[in-house]
């Protein structure tokens, strides 16, 4: 019997081509949503990515043999995302009580479900912890993109539409975050020599990190220079540059955070939805860290000074 040939590993050129095509397709989708200015379109995209990433997260846990509660996790992510979206659509921003209730349910319900199983040492606590982490890491953090959309309203805001300020703010966040990823990938692939954190992500290099910081500034400063009126909420160049460095650093940490998750669970990608990129969680991992940072920077520093 002939030996079955081993599947060949894609070359760097093929991976780059796939990643480029997936990136272009994603930006086309984002551009379509951006042009529509429809609240439902924005919230549907955020909600879909939240749920798909949550499904991928629990699939990774189960594949690694970790006891978890995927139905509860997916239901909680859907309920939280839906409640947040409806609140903004009705023109009444949610109070912190929504977050507290969701977190209470995540903890209490996972302990309640764990009562069905015998105690197996730390594994029983791991089941509860992994469930709570899944909610906080994905549904809670990623939905700061929704909060950013409606953080600032302008005179053009009408029911069913996202205000111009919120739309451009989200666009700026995505551009800085994703250009960070692109810069790290391009410069790291071309010039990377010195490993950054090989025990977490062998492919990450200090040269790539430098590229991430540079590309983040190119995106953030470039957009601010091209559309100063659209990004007036960012106030001035010092804030734009500071935010560029802050978001770039957090984007890298967010990417490495998912690397910790995948390495701990012995997985290469969270899914196969996007050739060259992976799954939805691979797509939003950096945004889960940059969106909250931008939200709090605006709310605590820039908006009070306006």
Domain-embedded: residue 4: no
Domain-embedded: residue 188: yes
Three-state SS string across 46-98, please? HHHHHHHHHHHHHHHHHHCCCCCCHHHHHHHHHHHHHHHHHHHHCCCCCCHHH
Q: Which two tokens stand for residue 62?
A: 């189960």
Q: Looking up tokens 């996972």, which residue turns up? A: 110
Domain-embedded: residue 1: no
**144 Cβ neighbours under 8 A, 6+ residues apart:** 291, 292, 294, 295
pLDDT of residue 271: 65
pLDDT in tens, 89-142: 887 788 899 999 999 999 999 999 999 888 888 888 888 999 999 999 999 999
Distance between CA atoms of residues 26 and 86, nearest Å: 25
The parent domain of residue 171 ranges over: 15-305
Domain-embedded: residue 236: yes
Domain-embedded: residue 62: yes
Domain-embedded: residue 210: yes
Domain-embedded: residue 6: no
Domain-embedded: residue 290: yes
- Number of domains into which the chain is organized: 1
Residues of the chain with pLDDT under 50: 1-7, 154-157, 159
Residue 96 backbone phi and psi in degrees, to 5: -60, -15
């Amino acid at each position: 019997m002939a030996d079955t040939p081993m599947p060949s590993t894609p070359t760097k050129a093929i991976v780059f081509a796939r990643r480029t095509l997936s990136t272009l397709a994603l930006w086309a989708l984002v551009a379509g949503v951006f042009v529509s200015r429809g609240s439902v379109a924005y919230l549907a995209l955020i909600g879909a990515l939240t749920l798909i990433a949550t499904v991928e997260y629990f699939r990774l846990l189960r594949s690694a043999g970790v006891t978890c509660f995927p139905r509860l996790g997916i239901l909680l992510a859907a309920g939280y995302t839906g409640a947040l979206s409806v609140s903004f659509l009705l023109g009444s921003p949610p109070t912190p009580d929504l977050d507290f209730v969701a977190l209470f349910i995540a903890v209490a319900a996972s302990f309640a479900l764990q009562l069905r199983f015998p105690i197996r040492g730390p594994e029983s606590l791991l089941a509860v912890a992994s469930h709570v982490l899944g909610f906080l890491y994905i549904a809670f953090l990623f939905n700061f993109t929704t909060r950013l959309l409606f953080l600032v309203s302008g005179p053009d805001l009408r029911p069913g539409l996202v205000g111009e300020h919120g739309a451009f703010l989200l666009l700026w966040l995505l551009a800085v975050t994703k250009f960070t990823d692109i810069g790290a990938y391009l410069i790291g692939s071309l010039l990377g020599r010195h490993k950054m954190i090989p025990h977490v992500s062998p492919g990450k290099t200090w040269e790539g990190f430098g590229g991430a910081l540079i590309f983040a500034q190119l995106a953030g400063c470039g957009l601010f220079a091209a559309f100063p009126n659209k990004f007036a909420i960012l106030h001035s160049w010092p804030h734009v540059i500071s935010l560029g460095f802050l978001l770039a650093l957090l984007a890298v940490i967010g990417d490495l955070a998912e690397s910790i998750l995948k390495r701990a669970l012995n997985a290469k990608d969270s899914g196969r939805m996007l050739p060259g990129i992976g799954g939805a969680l691979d797509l939003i991992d950096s945004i889960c860290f940059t969106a909250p940072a931008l939200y709090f920077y605006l709310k605590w520093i820039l908006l009070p000074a306006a």
